Amino acid sequence: MTTAPQLEIRDLVKTFGGVQALRGINLQFAQGELVGLIGPNGSGKTTLLNIIGGYYAATGGEILLDGMRCNGRSPVELARIGIGRSFQVTKVFKRLSVLENMLVGALALPGSSRREAEERAMAVLGSLQLMRLAHQPASGLSGGQAKLLEFGRIMMLHPKIVLLDEPFGGVHPDLKRFMYDRIREWNAGGVTIILVSHDMGSIFGLCQRVVALSYGDVIADGLPEAVKADPAVLEAYLGDHHAA
Ligand SMILES: Nc1ncnc2c1ncn2[C@@H]1O[C@H](COP(=O)(O)OP(=O)(O)O)[C@@H](O)[C@H]1O
Ligand SMILES: [Mg+2]
């Protein structure tokens, strides 16, 4: 029995003025996959996540979630139907408390009372070791804690698919291991994860499948070891100084 893909990307094109950021991407993701998305700087990784998350409109092609076309929807609508997203540059509301930050997205979901949302937020903060900071302003968080808060905000939305853009940038190794465990836990619960990272140790330590982009095209897609050894991937990274 073959299972239908949960997320399907068909002939996706994105141009910015004269720049072709994505040149007709085709990808399928099954529910519960943990996929690494790699590629040199400027290869289109963030653009791809931005389109899947509804932050950019595609120039061409389509995105299907559970067989339903979902491009053109707003990030809020997509969050409601199960797509959660982190950002390369962490977005935290600095003047709100940590708990209030957790509630911002969750209260936009249908059917959740503030009390229920707060209870859930406190439980999630507990799992992220942020409970004691719940009533502190988010401006006081360290960079690493802010990244955890961003994870927490995604968890509040009960996503089916989580898109993580460079979650480990500048993160202390101990915290990185803590984040790995959270990502594995999410994934073990059936959540599909697409992870963009320059940190090859993280990609190869976490992912069962790796997709490589170069100049807006998929140049390799498969088992981590095979992608790592793929000549097209090695060539794409030659001269890319972030890939060391
Ligand atoms: N908002 C934008 N406006 C114009 N060009 C953009 C924009 N976002 C990305 N690009 C261009 O699209 C290409 C892919 O960028 P990006 O998706 O950020 O790559 P990556 O995340 O792999 O480093 C680059 O050439 C980049 O300059
Ligand atoms: Mg990027």
Q: Which ligand is nearest to the CA of 44?
A: 1
Angle CA(124)–CA(64)–CA(39) in degrees, nearest 5?
75
Q: In what order do the strands lie in the sheet with 60-65?
A: 19-29, 7-16, 60-65, 68-69
The confidence band for 234, taking pLDDT boundaries of 50, 70 and 90, is very high
For residues 206 and 34, the answer to whether their CB atoms sit within 8 Å is yes
Query: What are the tens digits of pLDDT across the range 74-133?
Result: 888 898 889 988 776 677 899 999 999 999 877 777 777 889 899 999 999 999 999 999
Count of CB atoms situated within 10 Å of the CB of 146: 18
How many angstroms separate the CA atoms of 166 and 89, rounded? Answer: 8
Assigned CATH class of 7-237: alpha beta
Residue whose pair of structure tokens reads 């053109």 in the numeric block = 72
Q: What are residue 83's phi and psi, to 5 degrees? A: -110, 115
CA 193 to ligand 2 centroid distance, Å: 16
Q: What is the pLDDT of residue 171?
A: 87
Query: What are the tens digits of pLDDT across the range 41-55?
Result: 999 999 999 999 999
Pick from 20, 45, 47, 55 the residue to mutate for probing ligand 1's pocket: most ligand atoms within 8 Å of its CB. 47
pTM summary value: 0.92
Q: What is the pLDDT of residue 88?
A: 67
For residues 179 and 152, the answer to whether their CB atoms sit within 8 Å is no
Is the CB of 39 inside a 6 Å radius of any atom of ligand 1?
A: yes
Q: In this model, does residue 22 exceed pLDDT 60?
A: yes
Q: What is the pLDDT of residue 104?
A: 86
What residues does each domain of the chain span? 7-237
Pick from 19, 41, 87 the residue to mutate for probing ligand 1's pocket: most ligand atoms within 8 Å of its CB. 19
Q: What is the pLDDT of residue 122?
A: 96
Q: What is the pLDDT of residue 244?
A: 46
- Determine the atom of ligand 1 nearest the C-alpha atom of 88: 21
